[in-house]
Structure 1
Amino acid sequence: MEGGGGGAGGGGGGRSTLSEIYQDAKKVVLRTRDAVERLERFEYSSAGMESPPELSSSIARDITHIQSLCVEMDRLCRSLPSKSHRDLWKRKVEQVAEEAESLKQSLDKYSLRTQRRMMEAKERAELLGRANGDSHVLKIFDEEAQAMQSARSSARMLEEASLTGEAILSAMSGSRERLKKAHRKALDVLNTVGLSNSVLRLIERRHRVDNWIKYAGMILTIITVIIIWRWKR
């Protein structure tokens, strides 16, 4: 039967016969199937590592070649004079075409698995990159922690300055009370010795000046404390 097909194909002016094309197609199918099996063995034995790209490219070229041979065989099959021969060759061509389609599906599945592994590897790399980038985030956290620590230190310094100011004001208040008592005693003494009113007014002016000096000293002390606190902050 194949010989009859060959005779029909042989009238093509030196072109390959149907039988020769069929044999070529079967050889390419066997070679491609073996390449697909090697591709899958490499995939699983290499822990999911990507196989050499030339192997998958070679398989894709062979599948395309098989499909082109099927087209040529189908064309020659239609020119056979015998219906029985046409039906026989049609089944053979369909079988080769199905094998080519099966090989193509295997290659497509392999390509999908490869793409999925590449995406997973990319995501892991991005996660690792973000994990490494977290050192920058940790640095920011450290800077914020240092700022908070500085703020707490400044708060303690302000509290200490406030306590110091209160102590100074308390001491000044005590001094003011003592000055008042001394002033009253002095007035009593002056009144006793009969000093003039002008002398008393002079003493009173001096007392007011002393009070202004005292208040100015209190304000200057508070301003100094605030400046020191802000400078250390």
Structure 2
Amino acid sequence: MEGGGTLSDLYQKSKKLLLGTRDALERLERIDSSSYSSSSSSYYSASLSNPAVDSPDLALSIKKDIAQIQSLCVEMDRMWRSVGSRPQRDLWKRKVEQVAEEVDSLKESLDKHLLRNQKRVLEARERTELLQRAKGDSAHVLQDFDEEAQAMQSARNSSLMLDEAYATGVAVLSKYAEQRERLKRAQRKALDILNTVGLSNAVLKLIEKRHRVDKWVAYAGMFFTLFVVYVFWRWTH
């Protein structure tokens, strides 16, 4: 699957993604603060002249990175359980749990940002409607804010669909991980029995070959799941 490698490699990649995602989220918050520091009409004018203020695209990019980190956490959670040394296993467990907590915090901050932006756009729309009734000449401004509100709603809908797709992917990956652990335990028991009765090396090699095939089947299933999630995300945009 994407992000394959050793446990240490996956951990370093997840930490790098966490750092980049945190910076992107801070940039999104700065855009939010500067955009709404003036009146609603001034914010809309600024967004037309400065494409960087178009925060939905940045928010969706952050959402994608968060989903990738969560996928890495699923894979790391499977791998640390196979570490032979008990102290090392406990250390990796704490590290993976820390990454999972950090990415959950980032996801919560992003969701709050999207809700806050949607609320502000709706408030700006209501102010524009009042202004239109008072002056009778601001219909075009109301239309502009309608488009902005629709863009924010679209971003939130896309975010929810990504959440659902990610949850499905995580469930499938977890099933693959559980099946692989069961196969490994069954293989170890079988090897113990075969060694006891003195079965030939040729049969043992055949069993190991079957194990490798099962492992690649599991990896192929994980990759296919992530590919479906990616295609779904691309299709919705």
Q: Given the two structures, how large is their TM-score scaled by the length of structure 2? A: 0.47
RCO higher in structure (CA 8 A, sep ≥6): 2
Q: Considering only CA atoms, is the larger Rg found in Structure 1 or Structure 2?
A: 1
Q: Given the two structures, how large is their TM-score scaled by the length of structure 1? A: 0.48
